[in-house]
Structures are given as structure tokens and as C-alpha cells.
Amino acid sequence: MEMEIIFFTTNKNKVKEIKELATAEAKEITIEHREYDYPELQLEEIESVARESAKYMKEKKAIKEPFFLEDSGLLIHALNGFPGPFSAFVFDKIGNEGILKLMVDKRGEERKATFKTVVAFCKSPQKAPLLFVGVAEGKIAEMMRGEGGFGYDPLFEFEGAGKTFAEMSTEEKNEVSHRSMAFRELLNYLS
């Protein structure tokens, strides 16, 4: 079924990843990017942030067409899931260097981390947002590696790959990433 879906985000890197994935895997779905900086609530779960942001677009901005947005976060196991839903704030304040400092005495298993994306999809104004979750398991690298990607990508070494996300092409990252898993769940639902 041919379908056009709006993707609300101000992050061009997310748009690149999602558009490449849709082109490769869902030719009948067209993603229309719209740059809109909706207010992100600082809630304790990534799911709640995505759900409330989608409700805001649906109710306050009266978006009638099918749309989705997503919220992502890095959860470091030894730090009890920090920065999690506060990943954007923490990245702006201390960046990857700050995360490396927090991890300086952590070795091996203690460096495990999960990257998580929650996609919130609204089919029509009458329907509550549907959530699709994707995770990628890995660890915090000892130092930043790679020139690609964005955000925490130079620090996130994907499990078993021996490469950080920043050392992967968009295509490689899309094979395994949290965002691609969540978006594939949405595609499965739509088909």
C-alpha cells in the first residue's frame, strides 16, 4: 500500500538513516521530513518522552496526516541506565569526553551499554500514539573512534562488531542499530 508518512525531527542524521532504510526496505512508503522542534519533556522513560511528544504534535499542533517521531537514549549499565532519557542534555553539557571520564575506572563487562530508540507513530488524530522499540547492545569504547555518525556514535561499540557506530557506514549502522530496529517494527506493523 502506497503511503506517505511525516517524520518530525530537527536531526538531519536521523533523517538520513531513516530515509536510507525506507528506500532499501519499504519502497511503497515515502518519508517526508518536517523540521519541527517540539518541546521534549524530561520524563524518566524514553517511551514516555516519545509518547508525550507525539501527543503534543497531534493535539497542540493538530497534525492530521500519519506521522512519527522518535526519542533515543544511551543507557550505561554500570551507571544504572544513565544518561537514558537525559541523553541529549548530558551530551550538550559534557559530551563524549565527559562520558569517558565517568567511565575511567570501568573495565570489561562494566562498560556494557544499550542504545534505545522509541518510535511513536500516529495514524490519525483519533488514535493514541503507537510505540515501537528498538535496542542495540554494546559497550562504551575506551576512546572515541570513527569519523561517521553523530552524537554518541564514536563511543558506542556494537556487540561483536569490534567497531563503533562512527566507524560504520550508514548502511552498516542500519543493519544493526536501535533506530533501524524500531523503524523496522513500524514497517512490519504498516505492512
Binding site for ligand IMP (CB under 6 A): 11, 71-73, 87-88, 91, 149-153, 165, 177, 179
Is residue 94 a contact partner of residue 82, using CB atoms and an 8 Å limit? no
* CA angle in degrees (0–180, nearest 5) for 141-144-150: 110
Q: Give me 121's grid cell.
A: 507513530
Task: Quote the least distance from Cβ 100 to ligand IMP, whole Å.
Answer: 15
Task: Quote the least distance from Cβ 126 to ligand IMP, whole Å.
Answer: 27
> 71, 92, 105, 153: which is the annotated catalytic residue?
71
Question: Please, is 30 exposed, middle or buried when counting C-beta atoms within 10 Å of its C-beta (0-12, 13-18, 19+)?
Answer: middle
Task: Quote the least distance from Cβ 90 to ligand IMP, whole Å.
Answer: 8
Q: Which residues, in sequence order, are CB contacts of 16 under 8 Å at separation 6+?
A: 170
Of residues 68 and 152, the one with the C-beta less far from ligand IMP:
152
* CA angle in degrees (0–180, nearest 5) for 84-183-179: 35
Of residues 153 and 167, the one with the C-beta less far from ligand IMP:
153
Is residue 41 a contact partner of residue 80, using CB atoms and an 8 Å limit? no
71 is catalytic: yes
Of residues 36 and 91, the one with the C-beta less far from ligand IMP:
91
Question: Please, is 158 exposed, middle or buried when counting C-beta atoms within 10 Å of its C-beta (0-12, 13-18, 19+)?
Answer: buried
Of residues 60 and 93, the one with the C-beta less far from ligand IMP:
93
Q: Give me 148's grid cell.
A: 561517521
Task: Quote the least distance from Cβ 95 to ligand IMP, whole Å.
Answer: 9
Which residue's Cβ has the minimum distance to ligand IMP? 151
Please identify every residue annotated as catalytic: 71
